[in-house]
Amino acid sequence: MNSSSLAITGTSFPPHLNSNTKKKQPHFWNQTISLLHNCKNINQISQIHAQVIKNGHQQNPFSLFELLRVCSINCYMDYANKVFEQIENPNVYLYTALIDGFILSGLYNDGVRVYARMLNEFIQPDPYVIALVLKACGLQLALREGKQVHTQILKLKLGSNRSIRMKLIELYGKCGEFEDAQKVFDEMPKGDVAVSTVMICCFHNHGLIKDAFAVFEQTPFKDMVCWTAMIDGLVRNGEMNKALELFREMQRKSVRPNEVTIVCVLSACSQLGALELGRWVHSYVGKHKLKLNLFLGNALISMYSKCGSLEEAERVFDKMKDRDVVTYNSMLVGLAMHGKSTEAVCLFEDMVKRGLRPSNISFVAVLNACNHGGLVDMGFKIFQSMTKFYGIEPQIEHYGCLVDLLGRVGRLEEAYNFIERMRIKPDHIMWGSLLSACKIHGNLELGEKVAKALIDVGVADSGTYVLLSNIYAFWGKWEEAVNMREEMKKRGVLKEPGCSSIELKNDVHEFLAGDVRHPEREEIYRELQELNLLLRSEGYSPNTEVVLHDIEEVEKETAVAVHSERLAITYGLISTEPGTTIRVVKNLRICNDCHSMIKLIAKIKRRKIIVRDRNRFHHFENLSCSCGDYW
């Protein structure tokens, strides 16, 4: 980047603006600059502008540049545009200041439009403004316009400029044109870690993990930003275990992470339920004196909540001196997940009393908390307050919370009528929630009505077919249940397999139903068999209604006995000391039979067992569950 470009984002000025004009009235210029830099609103800017005009400097490029720059930083682009229209002969720096403002404000089309106008005025662009326009093209995926700019770059012989090349890689990468991105990348000097990082991010944005790894491995010197980009990309693409492995390698290479790296790792821990590693990361933060800012504090609250330690999440929350809406939202989500409905409502009210304005996410979190506690009246009261007190128009997620709330307490017809009266069109998730409630409460007639409506309009997912098949199986209608399965296969809808994971000694072990891949499988199944005998002696009898197939009772019992969460819990029992809490994460809703069985295991083995399923946390202890059998 050349020296002229530094003026756009800093307080220095382009060379031709540091002229004798400035020297003639140093006091006026210094005062004007100081006042502009301290402006907090458009009224203050307009008053200073009036003084500039009064002193006869309305066409002075120096004053205009500073004025446009301050408007751009504060996103007052309507005013900036009006100022610009009064300029008689704008130069490249003034055009750049306006273009930069539009892009900072997210008005990418306007930025490109002003650039085109500049070219029509036969003003030659410099590398900085070209990089800005390429950035705008990439952010709005304007490939055609970006290629036109690339052509201009070649004509101006600016193709060797590093900043321009990096923005070209970003543009082509974001638009999925990896052949062109690779060509530009290959033309650049090898070993440029910043360029490699850009390429890695582009591949990750399109889910091309192998390609990202190839660039990462070929980069000889990897700085902290490069490592972070690779870890972040893996997390965003659902490769949590690989992200944690890479973080460990980063530690072995003695590359010190920053707050962004830590937040990425905490996100991976949250998804996997890797509490011990999350605790280690937290201790790392303290040991290396990383500042517990909002960004990091919010991530720690989320991690502890999602890993099953609500107490530690609350301790982080209490220690944070500064809290924003995201902080409260993180804590609200945690309380809701753990079934602390009343506490969540109280925290929501405390947030409002402290003058923080609830966001859409705040309302989703507190309404979910009402769901898990069956707080129907409170849920509707909070829902109505969105529009009445905060002017927030409810979205599909908020309506969905109320449908779920009504469905859970068995008010199925009321939930159905609520959907019919909604201002917005229901989605398949909302109908699926009602269908699930129909299955729980045994309402075959309404369940058929909801499921067939979903199938007819082509928005049914695997859950729709499975739930309706489950309802038919519950009523002993095996032919209809089989037909649903066949229809599911015919339409190419795949059922999401149940998967459970458990963290032991900083390693995450994953299990599918009936899994035989684990190296300790013989010990796991031997312990599971002994456990089943012990449970039967305590009066346990498998609830085979959860099995959807018309098969023999013995086969049903076998199918139930090897659910993924049972394998994970059994592995936890044989791999930890007596009395150790066992924590398991499952991707689907826990079934009734497993729920009953785990309560018994917790009693017999004198263990606390915590299971996070798709809906919430279950804390099993002394033959009871924190959900009160309401999930």
Give the model's pLDDT for residue 551: 40
pLDDT at 468 over 90: no
Q: Where in the chain is the domain with CATH 1.25.40.10?
A: 399-490
Q: Are 344 and 317 in contact, with CB atoms under 8 Å apart?
A: no
pLDDT at 19 over 70: no
pLDDT at 253 over 60: yes
Structure-block tokens of residue 408:
């859970």
SS3 509: strand
Summarised one tens digit per residue, pLDDT across range 54-66 is: 777 667 777 788 8
Q: What is the pLDDT averaged over residues 102-111?
A: 92
Of 613, 615, 577, nearest to 598 (Cα)?
613
Give the model's pLDDT for residue 555: 42
Q: pLDDT: is 32 or 315 the higher one?
A: 315
- Most confident option among 379-388, 418-427, 536-545: 379-388
Given this structure, which CATH class describes domain 399-490? mainly alpha
pLDDT at 597 over 60: yes
Interatomic CA distance for residues 410 and 187, integer angstroms: 65
Of 405, 410, 414, 478, nearest to 438 (Cα)?
410
Summarised one tens digit per residue, pLDDT across range 435-455 is: 889 988 888 899 888 887 777
Give the model's pLDDT for residue 23: 47
Backbone dihedral angles phi then psi of residue 89, each to the nearest 5 degrees? -135, 75
Confidence of residue 543 (pLDDT cuts 50, 70, 90): low
Give the model's pLDDT for residue 10: 34
SS3 142: coil
Give the model's pLDDT for residue 394: 95
Residue 328 to residues 76, 313, 321, 430, 498: CA-CA distances in angstroms? 31, 11, 13, 26, 32
Confidence of residue 261 (pLDDT cuts 50, 70, 90): very high
> What is the residue-averaged pLDDT of the chain?
87
pTM for this structure?
0.80
Give the model's pLDDT for residue 440: 85
